[in-house]
């Protein structure tokens, strides 16, 4: 069965520190998609990135970067020079892509709460 | 701008009452999803739809129902509200039903309390 594990329940850092949020997934599919969402204190879910299983290139967007390693089934998220506005709950999610169970539904990890202190 | 809205944003109801949560999207997306968010469980899928007249059960569908009469709306009904259904409910939509590649965009959420 598909599963997403975010082992870090809570992380606290001081502003300007770098922080990495871990995400490990399990799937039997050869084609799948991975996502990161941010949930700030206001409660909405904000899409950050989508990655397909055939693209293992790392991606950088400003202070955000993502490291996808298929060999270890991990899709980790790093925030460089963290800011107070980065304080949020971050969710990693997996989408099924092929086979009879192809639903497009998202399987979420339990989330990591990041607190960035000034 | 296209968006996805949910109403009400907050709702308090009593055990046994029927409750309907509204979800409306103007993206013209085929797919719509309902999730609930609880501490320690992340988000779990309740029901989903790939288009008009199509509905499917998700991981935690017991006690919930949906209907899809048009592209824009997927209302979620709690047939007889229970305290265990106290949660935050999120609606989401995505463009197409195949491949799992399409990004889901979420509404602002509805906080439901069942007393």
pLDDT digit string (tens) for B42-81?
899 999 998 899 999 998 999 999 999 999 999 999 999 9
**Band (A29; pLDDT cuts 50, 70, 90):** confident
Q: For residue A47, what are its two tokens?
A: 């899409």
The pLDDT of residue A5 is above 90: yes
The pLDDT of residue A98 is above 60: no
Residue ranges of E strands in chain A? 3-5, 10-14, 19-21, 24-26, 32-39, 46-52, 59-61, 64-69, 74-79, 88-96, 106-108, 112-117
Residue-wise pLDDT for A82-96, tens only, equals 999 999 999 999 987
Residue A38 makes CB contacts below 8 A (sequence gap 6+) with A45, A46, A48, A88, A89, A90, A91
In DSSP terms, B67 is beta-bridged to none
Report pLDDT for B98. 57
A95 contacts chain B (CB < 8 A): yes
Q: Work out the average pLDDT over A87-106.
A: 76
Query: Which residues on B lie below 8 Å from A31 (Cβ)?
Result: 99
Query: Which residues on A lie below 8 Å from B58 (Cβ)?
Result: 105
Closest by Cα among B22, B90, B41 to A46: B90
Chain A residue with Cα closest to B88: A43
The pLDDT of residue A9 is above 90: yes
The pLDDT of residue A81 is above 80: yes
Q: Which residues of B27-46 are buried (b: 16+ CB within 10 A; e: fewer)?
A: bebbbbbbbbbeeeebbbbb
To the nearest whole angstrom, how far is the Cα of B110 from the nearest Cα of chain A?
10
Which among B100, B102, B105 has the least Cβ separation from residue A102? B100
In DSSP terms, A74 is beta-bridged to A24, A69
Could you give the CA distance from residue B90 to residue B108 in angstroms, rounded to a whole number?
7
Cα dihedral value B8, B12, B17, B22, nearest 10: 10
B108 contacts chain A (CB < 8 A): yes
Q: For residue B38, what are its two tokens?
A: 């609880």
Chain A residue with Cα closest to B40: A110
Could you give the CA distance from residue B19 to residue B80 in angstroms, rounded to a whole number?
8
Determine whether the interchain pair B101/A95 forms a contact, defined as Cβ–Cβ distance below 8 Å.
yes
Report pLDDT for A99. 46
**Band (B22; pLDDT cuts 50, 70, 90):** very high
- DSSP secondary-structure letter at A85? G
A25 contacts chain B (CB < 8 A): no
Compute CA distances B47 → A44, A69, B31, B94, whole Å.
20, 31, 11, 14
Determine whether the interchain pair B100/A32 forms a contact, defined as Cβ–Cβ distance below 8 Å.
yes
Placement of tokens 């048009």 in the chain: B70
């Amino acid at each position: 069965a598909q599963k997403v594990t975010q082992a870090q329940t809570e992380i606290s850092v001081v502003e300007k520190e770098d922080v990495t949020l871990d995400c490990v997934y399990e799937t039997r599919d050869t084609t799948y998609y991975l996502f990161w969402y941010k949930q700030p204190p206001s409660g909405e879910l904000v899409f950050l990135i989508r990655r397909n299983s055939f693209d293992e290139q790392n991606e950088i967007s400003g202070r955000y970067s993502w490291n996808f390693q298929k060999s270890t089934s991990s899709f980790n998220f790093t925030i460089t020079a963290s800011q107070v506005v980065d304080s949020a709950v971050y969710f990693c999610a997996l989408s099924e892509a092929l086979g009879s169970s192809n639903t497009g539904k998202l399987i979420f990890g339990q989330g990591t709460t990041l607190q960035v202190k000034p | 701008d296209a968006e996805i809205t949910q109403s009400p944003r907050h709702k308090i109801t009593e055990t046994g009452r029927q409750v309907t949560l509204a979800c409306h999207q103007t993206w013209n997306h085929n797919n719509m999803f309902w999730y609930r968010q609880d501490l320690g469980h992340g988000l779990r899928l309740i029901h989903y739809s790939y288009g008009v007249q199509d509905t499917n059960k998700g991981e935690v569908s017991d006690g919930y129902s949906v209907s899809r009469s048009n592209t824009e709306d997927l209302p979620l009904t709690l047939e007889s509200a229970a305290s265990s259904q106290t949660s935050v409910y999120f609606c989401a939509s995505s463009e197409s039903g195949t491949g799992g590649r399409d990004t889901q965009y979420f509404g602002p959420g509805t906080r439901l309390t069942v007393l």
